[in-house]
Amino acid sequence: MLQLHSCSCRGAFTAKSFRTSPAFFSARGRNLKSPLGVGRTIRGCCGFDGDLYSDGEQEPVLVNRTNYAGVRLEETVDTGSGKLRLDSWISSRINGISRARVQSSIRAGLVHVNGRAVHKVSFNVKTGDKINCTISELQQLRAEPEHMELDIVYEDEHLLVINKPAHMVVHPAPGNASGTLVNGILHHCNLPNVEIPNKEALSEAEDSDDDFDIYSICSSSSEGLLPHSSTCGASVRPGIVHRLDKGTSGLLVVAKDEHSHKHLSEQFKLRTIKRVYVSLTIGVPSPTAGRVEVPVGRDPNNRIRMTAVAGSINSRKARYAASRYKVSEILAKGACALLEWKLETGRTHQIRAHSKYLGVPLLGDEVYGGTKSMALSLLQPRTPTSLRGKIVQMVSQLDRPCLHALTLGFRHPHTGDQLHFTCQPPADFKEILSQLQTIGCERLSSFS
């Protein structure tokens, strides 16, 4: 049986309060590619310039880009069916670019339809319209220290372990410039304001999940969170080592110096970090324990969603991903289940994508099929009449996937001591778990 108990840690340290010198968090943008499409002209200030056709006169060019600034699209619309929003159409023609980035370019007056500037992102285009678009420069994102209550499970002069609440974004991104974990850490550690080069990386505003590969320490101050203060030491660069999805609660480790960041990142890379998550799923997976080894890549039909892609792990659009799962409780007479997950890799939305692949999406995960209607269709026939009203109300109020980072274990980057932390799920998770247990509960064994 899975034991859910209060936050705890095992190790040689006693948690104390420390402060660190001014420093910055760093992030590496994704290695983006721009497949250039059919019957159009796309020009960029660096990397490509040419007319591309579908008849083989010139092969499409793939160019690595971390910044789409200055890219120009000149094309005649051929929607094939009726009207389409201008921002959606442009986003579909420049692979990998975010719609928010396109919308910024439209509002800046950099998009012309039939020779006239259009500032309305929802403007409808139709077949035959001639589009001329230039992608705008990225604007710096400024992160300022903000006082907030951080649930610090452990802290020393080298690192922090934080119990992140659901709905808190880890780092600033377009649409989430304040109220993030980074803002709180800047205040907690007495760090200055910082500016973040706004690269085309997956945004926490887009509900991005735990993915340690996204973050790395930069060798110079030309990237990452750039402090306004010149007192920042070149060797002192604390940062986010991994991240949790906005809707995911639970344990997160933050490095305070470059040495700690490097060594913790290496542990993630070598897969020696112990991470256990718990989730509530709609339905019960069969078998009740197993290992999912299915690559995860971006869903071509929805850029904020990932998908488990069966096939070659060498695919350009999918990355190797492996998760172990085990059902610890069958709930509500089989309508739901409490699962434990052990991650071998940390791909974006990995648990959510693998859970959907198993046919049991996370309860409350509307993006990945864990809809309220699906949950209620299984729960209502199994729920006693006296409890149905409460179950309907509870499911209707779900506003996040039921996923929690329960356990985090790693070797301390400076002392070498093994640290282990466990923190129970928050009240919303425990409340719905309790209600499901009331309908019915069959306990199985959990991970040892």
Q: Which residues are catalytic?
A: 245
**Cα gap 196→285, rounded to integer Å:** 42
CB-CB contact of 403 with 429 (8 Å): no
Residues 6+ apart with CB under 8 A from 115: 130, 132
Beta strands in 79-123 (DSSP E): 84-85, 111-113, 116-117
Report the distance separating Cα 353 and Cα 369, nearest Å.
10
Which H or E run contains 319?
strand 318-319
Torsion on CA atoms 36, 39, 45, 46, rounded to nearest 10: 40
Q: Find residue 278's DSSP bridge partners.
A: 340, 404
Q: State which H helix or E strand residue 407 sits in.
A: strand 403-411
Q: Residue 397: which residues within 8 A CB-CB, separation 6 or more?
A: none
Pair of tokens at residue 186: 């800047």
CA separation for the pair 164, 15 (Å, rounded): 17
Task: Give the number of other CB atoms < 10 A from CB of residue 55.
Answer: 7
Look up residue 411 and give its two tokens: 């070797």
Taking residue 329's Cβ as centre, other Cβ atoms within 10 Å add up to: 22
Candidates 328, 320, 363; CA nearest to 344 is: 320
The pair of three-digit structure tokens given for residue 25, joined into one six-digit string: 């968090």
Closest listed residue to residue 368, CA positions, set 441, 299, 430 = 299
